[in-house]
Every structure is written in structure tokens, then in C-alpha cells.
Amino acid sequence: MSAATRSPSDDQIERVRAATARWIVAAREITGATPRRLPVPEVLFDLRGRSAGQAVYAKRSRRCHIRFNAGLLAAYPDDMLAVTVPHEVAHVVVYRLYGMRAKPHGAEWKALMAAFGVDAAACHNMTTTPARRLTQYRYTCGCAEPAWLTSIRHRRAKAGTRYQCRRCRQVLVADPGEDVSS
């Protein structure tokens, strides 16, 4: 059974929610922020694919919530608690204190991760599978090798968006002969 198909136990879910609250309290102590300025965010377990966690911000209301990958929580509960939870909490804290001007893995975030005593790695190293596989379409340019665009970019190209080859800088043109790669 792959990590994507596992479901976390109620105990694992509760441990993540409790750990999120503990990291927020620690961030308040480190930064001097009040509970009003730094409330405990809502925690959801609806993330799929390769991402372990995601901090989500609402610009207008300034409300935040954190999404966690339930499959990865079930497969790697210790890694999620030790690394992913403080990682996502640090994103929420930086957003609440510095707004959108702070870079996602910038100096403020790295300083908070150091204060947490957690490695400030931008990515996790848990084994994952993608949530979906995008179809790829063949495009040509001045290079001998074809370029491949995902179905999303292919649809945008058909609607008028122009993409350039990274090597020769020519505009990519859909290859009518061989459309799809798997």
C-alpha cells in the first residue's frame, strides 16, 4: 500500500493538531506575539501528492490554515511531527508577523526554524507518489530535441499563450505529427 492510499489514525491526527498548537505557543514566546496576533490556525488533512504540508493564507481576512498530507502522515508520522509541522507553523508565523513581503523560505523563516531547533530545509525527503500524471505534448523549435509541455501548458498554448525554448529562445510550436507522450 502506497503512502497516498493510507489513512492516518485518529491519534496521529490529534497529535498533529496538538503539535501545531505547541509550535504556535513556542513561536509566541520566541517572537513576543500575542495570541490575538498569532492564533492557532485551523488544521486540515486534505493535501495529496508530493507535498507534505502547505500553509494557506487569506490576504483579505489574514486568516491562515495548514493543510497536511494524510497519506504521508500515516506513512511517516514521526517525520511529519518533527519536521513538517514546525515547517508549516513557521510559514504561518512569518506571514502573520511580516506579511507577504517576507519570502517563503527567507531569512525570517530560517531564523524562526533555527529558534525552533529544526533543520531549515525547504523540502522533505519522504518517499511520495504524484497525485496525478499529466499528459505531455510534443513541441518543436530550432533545437534538434523536442520540447514537452504538460497538458495544462498545452491548453494555454492553444488559447494563445506563447512559450519559448529555454535553449534557443524560439517560440515553441505544437508538433502536429506526434501529439502525446505518456
- Among 14, 29, 42, 88, the one annotated catalytic: 88
Q: Taking the mean position of all CA atoms in its chain, how far away is CA 135?
A: 22
d(CA 63, CA 58): 5
Widest pairwise Cα distance in the chain: 63
Catalytic-residue membership of 14: no
- What is the helix (H) or strand (E) element at residue 30, kind and residue range? helix 10-31
For the chain, the helix, strand and coil percentages under 3-state DSSP, each to the nearest 5: 40, 20, 40
E strand or H helix at 170: none
CB 108 within 8 A of CB 102: yes
Catalytic residues: 88
